[in-house]
Amino acid sequence: MAALASSLALLLAVPAAADMFTVAPVAVDETAETAAAARDIALTKGQQRALRRLLKRLTLKVDHGRLPSLDAGAVAELVSGIGIDEEKTSATRYIASLSVAFKKDEMRRLLRGHGIPFSEARSKPILVLPVLRAAGAVRLWQRPNPWHEAWSDVRTGADAPVPLIVPAGELADIAALGAEQALAGDVRPLAAIAGRYGVADVLVAFAEIDVDLATRVRRLQVSLQRHGPTGPSAVVESFSSMEGESEAALIERVAAAIAGGIQERWKAETLIRFDRERSLSAVVPLRGLRDWLVVRERLRGNSLVRGVELTALSVESARIVLHYWGDVARLTVALAQSDLRLVEDAAGFWNVARSDGS
């Protein structure tokens, strides 16, 4: 009951903005002798499920078997707020959709205490364009396109480590870009649809299906073409159907595997390694005091940055000592998501500058 009382005290408005430490929606549906009892059970179980989802979100799959299991009281101590939507009750049943926000510092301590590395960095969103070649035709917006449907099912919310956006194929999408233009990497149409969704990165996921006539095994050949600020890149992968697996099931499995791989690679690149605490001195070029305030705020908000020490400040630049976890490569990737560029000049001095041009 103590855990329940704590939960009721936390029925607050959780942050509306996407937050790595907020889990939503969490569907609950419980039955008990009374609606109040069902609600109590639903809130308790909902928080436990939300914690499990959060722990998996922050960590690599290889560590999921080591994730801690906590009782209801311990889970409630980690919760900072609960939001309730779509609430429905009957005499004995309680149904709702929860948003559960967790305390960042406590979550960090929990994972550190169990020796589990984690990433709380969020990538900028990626726009995914699923193009399918079938029956001699190349399809992006045209139906049927089971490849597009599969990606629509696995697209992530804004709270994922790497938010994946899959356009629905509205008239404006069709007008901006065609399937052949996507495959050709046509810069102008790709920029147009990227601008429509407010993203810098576009992933063209091109799939082709064929069948080995001798073995009757289906193969899905996938080419992943990435277009973004760092230039184009491509990866080609091949997937074979499992015994008894239908074409639709193969397509769904592959889309889920690729989407999951994107999340895993990002987390691996941005893991916080608390056994590696380092520092570097850097210069921050400035156009005025406001520039420094913006850069300082972005640095302080970055998960890999432990602290920012200002050693000198002038109208044109700031000199800082940056204390961080991990290595420079991970720090560079993480800072880029905050629109900060970390570069080493020809003389071996580090510079931290805004990359958003504003």
Mean pLDDT of 289-316: 92
Rounded to 10°, the helix 104-113/35-58 angle is 60
Report the C-alpha gap between 350 and 119 in whole angstroms: 24
Dihedral sign from CA coordinates of 142, 144, 145, 149: positive
pLDDT average, residue stretch 331-351: 90
Mean pLDDT of the chain: 90
Rounded Cα distance, 143 and 130, in Å: 12
CA distance 32 to 40: 9
Give the distance, in angstroms, between the CA of residue 115 and the centroid of all CA atoms in the same chain: 22
pLDDT of residue 358: 57
Confidence class of residue 7 from pLDDT cuts 50, 70 and 90?
very low
What would the CATH number be for the domain defined by 277-354?
Answer: 3.30.70
pLDDT at 274: 76
The pLDDT value given to residue 84: 94
- In the block, which residue shows the tokens 């399918």? 132
Q: How big is the CA angle at 257 (ends 149 and 28), to the nearest 5 degrees?
A: 75
**pTM of the complete model beyond 0.75:** yes
- Give the whole-angstrom CA distance, residue 351 versus residue 285: 8
Q: Residue 39 corresponds to which amino acid?
A: R
Q: Where are the domains of the chain?
A: 2-113, 126-269, 277-354
Task: Name the residue among 65, 138, 60, 67 with its Cα closest to residue 107.
Answer: 67
What's the pLDDT at 15? 41
Which CATH architecture best describes the domain 126-269? 3-Layer(aba) Sandwich (3.40)
Per-residue confidence band for 356, with pLDDT thresholds at 50, 70 and 90: confident
The per-residue pLDDT for range 144-198, each reduced to its tens digit, is 999 999 999 987 777 789 999 999 999 999 999 999 999 999 999 999 999 999 9
- DSSP class of residue 316 equals S
Q: 103-112, 207-216, 250-259: lowest mean pLDDT where?
A: 207-216
